Amino acid sequence: MDTASSIKKYKNSVTRKYISLSNEELNTIVKGDYWFSRKYDGQLWFYSKSKKSSKIINSNQNDISNLINEIKKELDKKLSKTKNIILAGELYFLSKERERYGNTISGLGQKSKRKNLRFGVFDVVLSDKLLSSFEVKY
């Protein structure tokens, strides 16, 4: 599995097609025609597991696994029976107000704030299991 090329291909061909919708626009969509989810204001990161090794990286291969080790451990536990997988997710800072990109940066930079970081998985980039549709991925 070539992690770097899978992530770059995903970022260039899939995430560029995402669009933002207002609440009013969401109400006009016929249920079942499209898949949509809440957008967290954070950073795009990828959980990558190949055989027994796993890491959380971005599209430039920067690895933050040691900074958010608890999140990585939880994903490792949940995916213990999976050999190869890449998950796309948003790393964000949990707060009472709307999350902000800057808070994510601050959370990564300050050890005391890391407990508020979360990883919201929103897509399966690659899997050793056959996933024929988004519905199956979901």
- 36-50: b (≥16 Cβ within 10 Å) or e: eeeebebbebbbbbb
The pLDDT value recorded for residue 91 is 97
Please determine, for residue 134, whether its predicted confidence score (pLDDT) is greater than 70.
no
The pLDDT value recorded for residue 131 is 67
97-128 per-position pLDDT tens digit = 888 889 999 999 999 999 999 999 988 898 88
Structure pTM? Answer: 0.86
The pLDDT value recorded for residue 25 is 85
Please determine, for residue 82, whether its predicted confidence score (pLDDT) is greater than 70.
yes
Contacts with 79 (C-beta within 8 Å, 6 or more apart), sequence order: 49, 54, 85
The pLDDT value recorded for residue 138 is 65
4-63 per-position pLDDT tens digit = 899 999 888 888 888 788 888 878 877 777 777 777 889 999 999 998 799 999 999 999
123-133 per-position pLDDT tens digit = 889 888 766 66
- 101-137: b (≥16 Cβ within 10 Å) or e: eebbeebbeeeeebeebbbeebbbbbbeeeeeeeeee
Residue 1: which pLDDT band, with cuts at 50, 70 and 90?
low
- 102 residue type, one letter: G
Q: For residues 1 and 24, which has the higher predicted lDDT (pLDDT)? A: 24
Tokens in use for 44?
Answer: 């795009």
Cα 128 from chain centroid (whole Å): 18
